Amino acid sequence: MVDITSKQNTLRTAIASAIVRVSSAATIERVVNKTVPKGDVFEFARAAGLLGIKRTSDVIPDCHPLPVEYAQISYEVRELEIYISVEVHTIYKTGVEVEAMHGASVVALVIYDMLKPIDPAVEIRSIRLERKTGGKSDRKTTGMALLCAVIVCSDSVSRGENEDRSGVAIIERLKQLGIGLKDSQAVPDDVDTIRALVQQYVDEEVDMVILTGGTGLSGRDNTPEAVAPLIDRPIPGIMEVARQYGQQRMPYAMLSRGMAGFAGRTLVLTFPGSVRGVEETMDAIFPQVLHVFAIRDGARH
């Protein structure tokens, strides 16, 4: 199974369809009038479809078990065809496309099974995904040419004693997101040094500045103190999400003093200094955090 531990719960929906075609109007009439010998076709098939939706992971090996929080099965008769629509909702880490399609296939098969004794020519025409929503694919930001500066706040890295790994991890994720790199620097964890460099990028109207390191509780962790006076529009929800995400994976995430907000037109984000902390923070807030630039640029006009 695909590893989904890095994903977040979001509302995900899917609509799938199937078509069952019969050979005569007489068959349709018996379905509508509920005179098929095996029973009420639509209700039997609906019940089976609901079971099929909920049991998808039992029969499709690579599907994750997930909470089905809404399911609806509806029908439309068009001449000699029965159109089946299956809609499924969940709030989870992965989508429900296969659940919807599995439900549609079970409904179609039950209708086929109930009608074949009276109509040997009955056939299933198609099973397909009509629409899906949710997940990162819905939150990709396109058409934005964004530039980011990365600042590694570490005495040892700035002196060349230790290798920078967290900054490299940020740059790699930015590349995957299609965000350009304006600059990358390692500086001592000193309030005046950090503040001056961030202010430089703010004056240049760089879109985003990400700092890594110096967000802990040690007396040497100065990043929040350095950037706080520069942020004129705090966005506390960004770090609330990051901390909640991290807390589900590591119990000390609550101790991070990360900050987020706009300094002028520049989004400033402070990340932990560890590679794991950086990666988890990026997983938690990207790409959805990029929506702030659409708001920023919209407000400008």
How does 206-241 read in b/e, with b if 16+ C-beta sit within 10 Å? bbbbbbbbbbbeeeebbbbebbbebbeeebeebbeb
For the domain 10-135, what is the CATH superfamily, name and number? Molybdopterin cofactor biosynthesis C (MoaC) domain (3.30.70.640)
Contact 253, 241 (CB under 8 A): no
pLDDT for 163-191, tens place per residue? 999 999 999 999 999 999 999 999 999 99
Q: Which CATH number fits domain 147-300: 3.40.980.10, 3.20.20.70, 3.30.70.270, 3.40.50.720?
A: 3.40.980.10
Whole-Å CA distances, 266 to 69, 168, 297: 40, 21, 12
Using one digit for the tens of pLDDT, what is the confidence trace for 208-238? 999 999 998 888 889 999 999 999 999 999 9
SS (H, E, C) 124-135: EEEEEEEEEECC
- Give the containing element (helix H, strand E) for 111: helix 97-115
Instruction: List 89's β-bridge partners, or say none.
Output: 13, 70
E strands within 68-175?
Answer: 70-78, 81-92, 123-133, 147-153
Q: What is the value of pTM for the model shown?
A: 0.75
In 26-118, DSSP assigns E strands to 70-78, 81-92
Q: Where are the domains of the chain?
A: 10-135, 147-300
pLDDT tens digits, 33-43: 999 999 999 99
Distant-in-sequence, close-in-space partners of 295: CB < 8 Å, separation ≥ 6: none
- H or E stretch covering 180: strand 180-187
Interacting residues of 154 by C-beta distance below 8 A, sequence separation 6+: 162, 164, 186, 188, 189, 213, 214, 273
The catalytic residue among 3, 58, 62, 113 is: 113
Using the CB atoms, write b or e for 66-99: b if 16+ within 10 Å.
bebeebebebeeeeeebebbbbbbbebbbbbbbb
Residue 299's pLDDT band, with cuts at 50, 70 and 90, is low
Question: Is 113 in the active site?
Answer: yes
Domains 10-135 and 147-300 share a fold: no
Report pLDDT for 301.
42
Residue in 240, 252, 244, 292 with CA at minimum distance from that of residue 268: 292
Helix segments in 117-215, DSSP class H: 155-158, 166-177, 191-203
Q: Kindly report, residue by residue over 49-63, the tens digit of the pLDDT.
A: 999 999 999 999 999
